[in-house]
Every structure is written in structure tokens, then in C-alpha cells.
Amino acid sequence: MKGFALKSYSKIIVFSLASILAFMLFVEIFVPKIVPRSSPLDALETGAGGETGIAALVRIGEAIYNGKGGCSLCHDQGGERAPSLEYLEATASERIADESYSGSAEGPWQYVVESLLEPSAFVVPGYGTEESTMPGYSGKLSEDELRALVAYLKFRSKASVDLLQVEPLQEEVE
């Protein structure tokens, strides 16, 4: 009886090892490799699509605006859901000068960054009460993604886009 149990356990062990080996082989051959996601700004170094650094940064920002950030869902609706981003630089300056503004931005693009990270620092009249209806992007977008998004917003507002002007974002808010 002892010999029978030993043979059964041996068969189970051999079968288990063969199954594990077959699974590992299957994964190695048929499952695509997971490549770590690079920073959006890596495209600037490689000149993605033959674009210059600024053009690539703006293109990445536009992709974030229309995709991951979800900005276009509200801001491109003619001001129905969220404030228009047309003439953003002038509008941001007006908002900083507003007496109800409680944020810490000193310039229009600092205000934009602040609005992305802490949207309730200033709630535009008609778009919420004390809390903004806009989600905050702190921790949702990387610093590189925020840089690209700000570059796109600058480009869209016909403001000059300079790589140095969009770095570093976190220090602008503090």
C-alpha cells in the first residue's frame, strides 16, 4: 500500500511541475511583455513623430486634455458645464484679481496649475458653490502630464509655450 501512495504522489508532483512548466512556456510565447510606461516627456528627447520638443509637448497635452484628463467633456461645451478656456490667460488674471479669490497664485499660469491641483481654491461663479465641481488632478496626473497639459492650454490660448515656463509645476503652487 505504501508503494501505491508513493507512486500516486510522484505522479501528482510530476503532473504539477509539468503543468507549471507548460504555463510558463505559454506565457513566455503568447503573452505580450509589460513594458513600464515612460514619462510623456520622453517623447521630447526622441522627437516623437519628427516634432520639435515644444510641438511634442503640446501634442501630448492635447491627448491628455481629450483623453485621460477628460477636460474636453466639460470645457468644450460652450460654457454649459464648465467655464470656457478661451482667452484663458486673461481670464485667469481676472480671477486672481477677484476679491473672492483665496488661492496663492501670482500669475495666470500659476492659477491654471493651482486650478488643476486644487480646483476649489477659486470657484467660478455659476459652476459650484463652495466646492468646485471640477475634479482635482493632484495624484491623478503625473507632474510631466501636468506640464504637457499646461503647455497645451498655453498653446490653445495663443500664449507662448516655453519648456522652461512649464517646469516645475509643484513649486508654482506652493
Condensed to tens digits (0 to 9), the pLDDT of residues 120-141 reads 888 888 777 777 778 888 888 8
Q: How far apart are CA 146 and CA 163, in angstroms?
A: 13
* pTM beyond 0.95, yes or no: no
Q: How far apart are CA 99 and CA 110, in angstroms?
A: 17
Phi, psi of 7 (to 5 degrees): -65, -40
Answer whether 129's CB lies under 8 Å from 123's CB: yes
> Which CATH number does the domain 42-173 belong to among 3.40.50.11540, 1.10.760.10, 3.60.15.10, 3.40.640.10?
1.10.760.10
Phi, psi of 77 (to 5 degrees): -105, 30
Answer whether 57's CB lies under 8 Å from 166's CB: yes
| pLDDT tens for each residue of 71-86 | 888 887 676 788 888 8
Instruction: Write the single-letter amino acid at 116.
Output: L
